[in-house]
Amino acid sequence: MELTDEEICMGDGDNEGNPYHAVAPPIYQTSLFTKPTFEAFAEDQVHENERHVYSRGTNPTVEVLEQKLAALERGGACKCFGSGMGAISSTWMTILRPGDHVLFLNHTYGPALQLIEHLSSFDIAYTVWTKDSDRSMEDCIQRNTVLIYMENPGTMTMEIIDIEQAVAMAREHSITTMMDNTWATPLFQKPLTMGVDIVVHSLTKYIGGHSDVLGGAVIASRAFIKKLFFHGYQLFGSVLSAMEASMVIRGLRTLPLRMRNHESNAAEVISFLQTRPEVKAIHHPSVNKEASALVDQQFYGLSGLLSFELKDGGFENVARFINELRLFRIGTSWGGFESLVTSPVKPGNEETLRHQGFDTGLIRLSVGLEGAPQQIKDLEGAFERTRHYVQ
Ligand SMILES: *Cc1c(COP(=O)(O)O)cnc(C)c1O
């Protein structure tokens, strides 16, 4: 019988290699594994993607995490990386060749766009399609498009895309699809079950969950992960250490509990924001009326990363409001236990924001685990204290 997500997260990830049946998988803090004979060594080296030879290849602790993530995403196999960007860059270096074109659907993670921009010097081109584009998704496909890269929702303004439509279109043109599923985690969205070929995660966010570890993961078919292992992974060297893998495994133990708490706190924070006259718009799948059918169809739950727009935007007002927050700390990441606030609004970048489709009053909240009453009180205080400026 198929295990539930909770069972996968709590399981010991056991294997014959855990002789004492330790409930927490042992941390194999070793750079290499020795072999009884040179013949065995030579044989294992050929199969380094599935045998333990050197920890820039496989490591038993990392492997426990990989098995859990593959099971949670209902994928064939998983490979873990030293960061989310390590996972994204290694996957692209495995798939892309000079002359190729990548189509981005939806707003995607900024550094991923910076990387594809950098790859233009390797003769790789790209197009970004968002809801605001003049052209249709399909019109953005070129003869040399080999990869469709997407996020659902985008992690700044939380737009939703129709994954099944994107997958159908990609299949028709024999294009590989890849999705960053960091926002929802494998608990709240399972892209592979909707036909997406490759899922990528930043483990740094909800999955790690404690803001004390960086990591990334790619989940796909066994065949693709094998190819990824020998090219983008092993040779580019973005490795997750055994110690860090054990910390991410610990994060998985509480992931189901934490996600429900992030979800309910965010729902209360959103209800509060809806009462504030200073707020022009709120971005979160739960308030997306246009896409509500898609939201119901695609998600099993909704996480605690959201954004809203101050009616009276601009850098000064955004800074004033953010500076009045106490519980929401100022910082760039999200998905940890702590509530965080940030904004893409920077001094004098109105034009860039407009170009990206972001409002000049945009503020992003990562709603943590301190409790909705405390979070709301903090926001309320900031609204009250900036009342004089922010209408
Ligand atoms: C943080 C993040 C990444 C990159 O992950 P790192 O672990 O910081 O390299 C990728 N995608 C999304 C949506 C993210 O928020």
For the domain that residue 284 is a member of, what is the CATH number? Answer: 3.90.1150.10
- Residue 228 is predicted with a pLDDT of 98
Would you give the DSSP letter of residue 36? S
pLDDT at 391: 56
The secondary structure of 289-319 as a DSSP string is: STTHHHHHHH-SS--SEEEEEESS-SHHHHH
Direct distance between the N- and C-terminal alpha carbons of the chain, in angstroms, rounded to an integer: 56
Helices (DSSP H) in the chain: which residue ranges? 5-10, 38-46, 60-72, 84-95, 110-118, 163-172, 185-188, 222-228, 242-273, 292-298, 315-323, 350-356, 372-385
Name 304's Cβ contacts closer than 8 Å, sequence gap at least 6. 262, 263, 265, 266, 366, 367, 368
Number of structural domains in the chain: 1
pLDDT at 21: 83
**Residue 388 pLDDT greater than 80, yes or no:** no
The confidence band for 19, taking pLDDT boundaries of 50, 70 and 90, is confident
Smallest CA separation from ligand 1 atom 8, residue: 84
CA–centroid distance, residue 72 to ligand 1 (Å): 19
Q: Write the single-letter amino acid at 382.
A: A
At residue 355, the pLDDT reads: 87
Confidence of residue 18 (pLDDT cuts 50, 70, 90): confident
CA of 88, closest atom in ligand 1: 10
pLDDT, mean over the chain? 96
pLDDT tens, position by position, 170-201: 999 999 999 999 999 999 999 999 999 999 99
Task: Give 109 Cα–ligand 1 centroid separation in angstroms.
Answer: 7
Q: Which atom of ligand 1 is nearest to the CA of 216?
A: 7
- Quote the pLDDT of residue 389: 67
Distances (CA, A) of 292 to 152, 217, 248, 288, 289: 13, 29, 32, 6, 5
C-alpha–C-alpha distance, residues 74 and 77, integer Å: 9
Q: Considering only CA atoms, which of 205, 208, 209 is closest in space to residue 333?
A: 205
What separation in Å is there between the alpha carbon of 42 and the centre of ligand 1? 37
Closest ligand 1 atom, CA of 204? 7
Q: Is residue 160 assigned to a domain?
A: no
Looking at the DSSP assignment, which residues form a beta bridge with residue 104?
A: 128, 149
Instruction: Look at residue 73 in the predicted model and tell me its pLDDT.
Output: 98
Q: Is residue 92 part of a domain?
A: no
Is 227 within a domain? no
The tens digit of pLDDT for each residue in 83-93 reads 999 999 999 99
Q: In what order do the strands lie in the sheet with 362-366?
A: 279-283, 305-310, 362-366, 340-342, 329-330
Residue-level pLDDT at 22: 86
In contact, 380 and 272? CB cutoff 8 Å: yes
Which residues are CB-neighbours of 113 under 8 A, at least 6 positions away?
104, 128
pLDDT in tens, 119-158: 999 999 999 999 889 999 999 999 999 999 999 999 999 9
Does residue 250 form part of some domain?
no
Please state which of the ranges 5-14, 23-32, 357-366 shows the lowest mean pLDDT: 5-14
- What is the Cα–Cα distance from 4 to 357, expressed in whole angstroms? 39
pLDDT exceeding 90 applies to what percent of the chain? Answer: 93
Look at residue 381 and tell me if it is in a domain.
yes
Q: Is the pLDDT of residue 108 over 90?
A: yes
The residue with tokens 């009053």 is: 361
What integer pLDDT is reported at residue 264 of this predicted model? 98
Query: Which two three-digit tokens encode residue 12?
Result: 């010991």
Asked, for residue 328, whether it belongs to a domain, the answer is yes
Cβ burial of 277 (10 Å; 0-12, 13-18, 19+) is: exposed
Kindly state whether residue 278 falls inside one of the protein's structural domains.
yes
Q: Which of 151, 182, 340 to mutate to test the pocket of ligand 1 (most atoms within 8 A of CB)?
A: 182
Residues with CB under 6 Å of ligand 1 are 83-85, 109, 155, 180, 182, 202, 204-205, 214, 216
User: Residue 14: is its pLDDT beyond 70?
Assistant: no
Note the pLDDT of residue 200: 98
Mutate which of 85, 89, 212 for ligand 1 pocket (most atoms within 8 A of beta carbon): 85
> By C-alpha distance, which of 351, 361, 296 is closest to 157?
361
Examine residue 4 and state whether it is found in any structural domain, yes or no: no
pLDDT at 12 over 80: no
Total-model pTM: 0.96
State the DSSP code for 133: -
Residue 373 domain boundaries: 256-386
Question: Given a cut of 60, is residue 274 above it in pLDDT?
Answer: yes
Q: Whose CA is nearest to atom 4 of ligand 1?
A: 84
Question: Residue 23 — pLDDT band, cuts 50, 70, 90?
Answer: confident
